[in-house]
Amino acid sequence: MKFPKIPQQITSLCILFFIAITVFITARKYFIPPTFGLYGHYRAAAVDEIKTKETKYAGAELCADCHDEIYALKAKSYHKNISCEVCHGPAAKHADDPTESKPEIPHDRSQCVICHDYNLARPTGFPQIIASQHNPGKFCTQCHQPHNPMLPHTPENCSACHRAIASQKIVSHHASLECSTCHETPPEHLANPRAFEVKKPENNDFCGQCHARNATSSAEIPRIDLEAHSGRYLCWDCHYPHNPEANR
C-alpha cells in the first residue's frame, strides 16, 4: 500500500514543534526550583527565606501600647483604618528601642495628597483638593490634625469633599449658584457628614422657582410650562442639576 506523500510544510512544522517542546521540557527541568510544589503552587524555600528577613513593621496594635491617647483619637476619626506606619514608616526598631530610633513625621504635602489630591475616580464625598490651589505653601498639619483630620478644622466649602461635582458645576450655567441654594445643609454636616445628611429638592416646584413661566427670576434664565414640560417626570430625571446643559 502506497502512503500519500507528506507535504514539506507539514514536515517542517513537525520538526519545529518537536524542537520547541524539547526546549520547553529541558528549560522546565533547569529553571523550576526543586522545592516548587512541595506544599502548594509556590516555592517552598521562599517561606524559610522570608523568615530570615529583618522585621521592619511593628503593627498598629503595638503602637497603641505606648501611644494610647493618639490611638484613641484616631479610632474615632476617618483615619481609623489607616495603619500608623502608612504615614510614619516602618517602626519595628522604634518599638524595640524608642530612644534610639524615631519614626518619621511627615512635614510636607506629598504624603497627604497621595490620597486627597483630586482624582475623578475617587468616590463621591471623599475629601479631595487641588494641591496647587488649596493653601499653597502651607503644611497640611497646620490646619488639619492628622490623627483626626476633622479636628479642629472643618471644610470651609462643599468642594473640599465634592470636588468632582464642583468641577462640573463651575463650567455650567449654575456656576453662580451656591450649593445651599438647592441643598439644605445642617452645620453639623461639615464635621460629621454621614450622621447629618443634606436635604435635596423633592419636586419640580423647586426648579420652577427659577424656570417656570411665572417665575420672578432674571429674564435670561430659560422658562418652561412646568406642568406641560415635565409631566410625570422630575426635572433631574432628564437634566443633571450640577450641569443642566450636559447630555444625559
What does the domain layout of the chain look like in residue ranges? Answer: 58-104, 106-177, 204-238
Mean pLDDT of the chain: 88
110, three cell numbers = 506629598
Amino acid 108: pLDDT: 84
In whole angstroms, give the CA distance from residue 80 to residue 73: 9
Q: pTM value?
A: 0.60
Average pLDDT for 8-12:
89
C-alpha 193: how far from chain center: 17
193, three cell numbers = 457628614
In whole angstroms, give the CA distance from residue 32 to residue 20: 17
Residue owning grid cell 510614619: 88
Asked whether the predicted pLDDT for residue 152 surpasses 80, the reply is no
Average pLDDT for 84-90:
93
pLDDT tier at 88, thresholds 50, 70, 90:
very high
pLDDT tier at 164, thresholds 50, 70, 90:
confident
Amino acid 166: pLDDT: 87
pLDDT tier at 39, thresholds 50, 70, 90:
confident
Longest dimension (CA), the chain: 103
Average pLDDT for 12-38:
92
Amino acid 228: pLDDT: 87
Asked whether the predicted pLDDT for residue 199 surpasses 70, the reply is yes
Amino acid 1: pLDDT: 62
In whole angstroms, give the CA distance from residue 158 to residue 148: 19
Residues 6 or more apart from 232 whose CB is under 8 A from it?
A: none
Amino acid identity, residue 87? C
